[in-house]
Structure 1
Amino acid sequence: MDATIATFLIQDGVTNGAIYALLGLALVLVFAVTRIIFIPQGEFVAYGALSLALLDEGKVPGTAPMLVAFGAAALLLDLWQMRRDFQLSSLVRALAANVAVPVAIYALLALTAPLELPSLLRAALAVLLIAPMGYYIYRIVYRPLVDASVLVLLIASLGVHLVMMGLGLVFFGPEGLRARPLSEDSFMLGPLNVTTQSLWIYAVTIIIIVGLYLFFEKTLLGKALRATAVNRLGARLVGVRTQLTGVTALVLAAIIGAVSGVLIAPVTTIYYDTGFLIGLKGFVAAILGGLGNFPVTAIAAIGVGLVEAFASFFASAYKEVIVFGLIIPVLVWLSFGASHHEED
């Protein structure tokens, strides 16, 4: 391997690592706030990518009727909860959140999908379509389990992953799809052919990282999420609505996943089950970061991308084994200093 090949591998590794960084940050965010190891994070990536690919073809994505179905299920749960203490204001809020929002998004996509919209606008529509799914998944699955143990939440996450992967097969089919690039321009940087699409990935990753920092440091809701992450019971005692923070964490995770899918959709062919493998690599980065440290998780994700790139060159048949094997020494090291808690 010469310097030119190494440079290309580093470029690929950093590009992939930027995506893994976004997923790792989303996983750390959800776990810190809700104690949920959110296995379905990769499904948001696949849904976002496949939705954008279908919008590029002038079709309404299958996630649009799926969103309406999620809203209907959430509405039924809300109606069941209101059966003993009915209030008109609660019914109006439930109808607005669970019926009006998904139907409005469906109608918007039905009107705009046949149009030749700019690439950025189609990408924004794909993210808009996926973002409410975080709310509905929390309402349907995790809100009834808000006080459950970490193990129960993990089992629930596995069930959500299997359901979402099955729904992806039903609504998108087994064929892979690829979206049009946000920009087809490229330029030479020494021996490297740098595409504008890769620059989009770097720029959006940096913007999201900075945006999350400002959100947690400067906004009241962000500080509420930090308080919930530090001490859930203490946050409740001082008036923080932990259900609101849980919903916010899942919605942010859905947005980050959808943005990640939009960014990689033009780079590689995405299938209904592709998100699982991508999400696992983001999970590796989150584990390397200790499931609680955002900067370390981002740095670890870049490392995961570089290891994957070089492993694909030297031992392509074992690259996945090498990548996932990175967490073994870290877990062994952490086990030496971790005290045992029966619940965890």
Structure 2
Amino acid sequence: MSWDVALILAMDGLANGSVYLLAGLGLVLIFSVTRVVFVPFGDVAAFSALTLAAFQTGRVPPTIGLVMVLAALATATELVSLWRRGELRRMPHALLAWGVLPLVPCLLAWLTARPGMPAVVQILVTLLLIVPITPLLARVVYQPIADASVLVLLIVSLALHFLLSGLGLLFFGPEGSRTEPLASGVFTLGESFVVSGQVLLMVGSAIVLSGLFFLVFERTVAGKALRATAVNRVGARLVGIRPARTALMAYGSASLLAGLIGVLIGPVTTMYYDSGFIIGLKAFVAAIIGGLVSYPITALGALAVGLVESFASFWSGALKDVIVFSLLIPVLMLRSYLSRHEEEEQDEVDE
């Protein structure tokens, strides 16, 4: 392997790692606040890419129907819950929050689904249409079982992934789509090293969004509320922080990250209704490296996953995914070795 080939593979690895970085941050955010391993994260990113592709071809995105179905289910779930608790006065507010507000992006998407719309408008409307998906799913699926064990929540997440895959096939169809590049042109570094503008945009976006992510968590009241809930849910509740509201914020933020991932990855690979599963799994490897709690280590793990995937594809394209997922074995062994194990002592009773 020459140095030129190594540099090309490294740049491709950084581009892939930037996608896994954003996805890993979203997974850690949701898990730290809600204890949910959100397996369908990649599915939401795939829906974002397919939505933008529909806009660019002048079609009405099928995501509108998906959001409307989820909004109806979430509204019915909330109204039934309020009725059982006898809180009938809150029903109009619930109807507005879960039934009307999610339909506003649907209306905007229907109005802008025509040829000739500026690319910026298409991207913004795509993100607005994607953001409600995860909170609506959380209200229907996760909120009723918020106090369940992590294992139960994981099983539900796996089932939800297969459900979303079926809904994706129903709404988007089996055909794949690829969006237009967001950045054109190439940049030459040295004599023979060429980098496309799209790759630089992906890496730069990951850096900027990670910085914004850090500032939100460190400098804003909402970010501090999320951190407090992640550290101690009971303590956060005692000081007036509502875990259900912070969970909604976490799901909304993760949905926005998934939408941005779909926008960034759409021009470099053909996306299908089920393409997000592999993205989510590789981001999960990065999140496991970070212990599902550490954002900086998750970011480093995501970059490592991207680099390993890129160099593994050079040696064996058929085994690259196997090599990437094999990273879990030494990571889990190392974490098991470093973690403290307290053995239960049983008192012996003399007969």
TM-score by length of 2: 0.94
Q: Which residue of 2 aligns with 1:116?
A: 116
CA contact (8 A) 2:51 2:63 kept: yes
The answer as to 2:56 corresponding to 1:59 is no
Q: Which residue of 2 aligns with 1:249?
A: 250
- 1:138-177 to structure 2, matched below 5 A, reads 138-177=138-177
CA contact (8 A) 1:120 1:182 kept: no
Q: Which residue of 1 aligns with 2:301?
A: 300
CA contact (8 A) 2:56 2:115 kept: no
CA contact (8 A) 2:217 2:227 kept: yes
CA distance in 2, matches of 1:32, 1:9: 33
CA distance in 2, matches of 1:331, 1:124: 39
Deviation at 1:80, TM superposition (A): 0.7
Deviation at 1:98, TM superposition (A): 2.2
Q: Which residue of 2 aligns with 1:316?
A: 317
Q: Aligned AA for 1:211?
A: L
Deviation at 1:236, TM superposition (A): 1.3
Greater CA deviation, 194-203 or 165-174?
194-203
Deviation at 1:34, TM superposition (A): 0.7
Q: Which residue of 2 aligns with 1:97?
A: 97
Q: How many residues align?
A: 341
Aligned in 2, Cα 1:332/1:82: closer, same or farther, shift over 3 Å? same
CA contact (8 A) 2:49 2:266 kept: yes
Q: Which residue of 1 aligns with 2:183?
A: 183
Aligned in 2, Cα 1:288/1:111: closer, same or farther, shift over 3 Å? same
Q: Aligned AA for 2:93?
A: R
Paired residue secondary structure (2:200): helix
Deviation at 1:95, TM superposition (A): 2.0
Deviation at 1:187, TM superposition (A): 2.4
Aligned in 2, Cα 1:177/1:170: closer, same or farther, shift over 3 Å? same
Q: Which residue of 1 aligns with 2:49?
A: 49
Q: Which residue of 2 aligns with 1:193?
A: 194
The answer as to 2:215 corresponding to 1:214 is yes
Listed one character per residue, the Cα deviations across residues 50-106 of structure 1 (whole Å, up to 9, x for unaligned) are: 111111101111111110110000111111122242434x22222222222232222
Q: Which residue of 2 aligns with 1:136?
A: 136
The Cα RMSD (Å) is 1.5
CA distance in 2, matches of 1:19, 1:214: 20
CA distance in 1, matches of 2:246, 2:231: 13
Greater CA deviation, 10-19 or 286-295?
286-295
Return 5+ residue gaps in structure 1 as ranges.
none
Greater CA deviation, 280-289 or 197-206?
197-206
Deviation at 1:3, TM superposition (A): 1.1
Deviation at 1:108, TM superposition (A): 1.1
Return 5+ residue gaps in structure 2 as ranges.
344-351
Aligned in 2, Cα 1:238/1:86: closer, same or farther, shift over 3 Å? closer
- 1:282-297 to structure 2, matched below 5 A, reads 282-297=283-298
- 1:231-246 to structure 2, matched below 5 A, reads 231-246=232-247
CA distance in 2, matches of 1:187, 1:329: 38
Paired residue secondary structure (2:195): strand
Deviation at 1:193, TM superposition (A): 2.4
Greater CA deviation, 320-329 or 154-163?
154-163
Paired residue secondary structure (2:276): helix
Q: Which residue of 2 aligns with 1:329?
A: 330
CA contact (8 A) 2:40 2:164 kept: yes
Q: Which residue of 1 aligns with 2:346?
A: none
Aligned in 2, Cα 1:207/1:329: closer, same or farther, shift over 3 Å? same
Listed one character per residue, the Cα deviations across residues 99-153 of structure 1 (whole Å, up to 9, x for unaligned) are: 2223222221111110412222211211111101121011111111111111111
The answer as to 2:274 corresponding to 1:279 is no
Task: Work out the percentage of aligned pairs sharing the same amino acid.
Answer: 47
Greater CA deviation, 121-130 or 185-194?
185-194
The answer as to 2:34 corresponding to 1:34 is yes
CA distance in 1, matches of 2:9, 2:188: 16
Q: Aligned AA for 2:43?
A: E
CA distance in 1, matches of 2:132, 2:323: 35
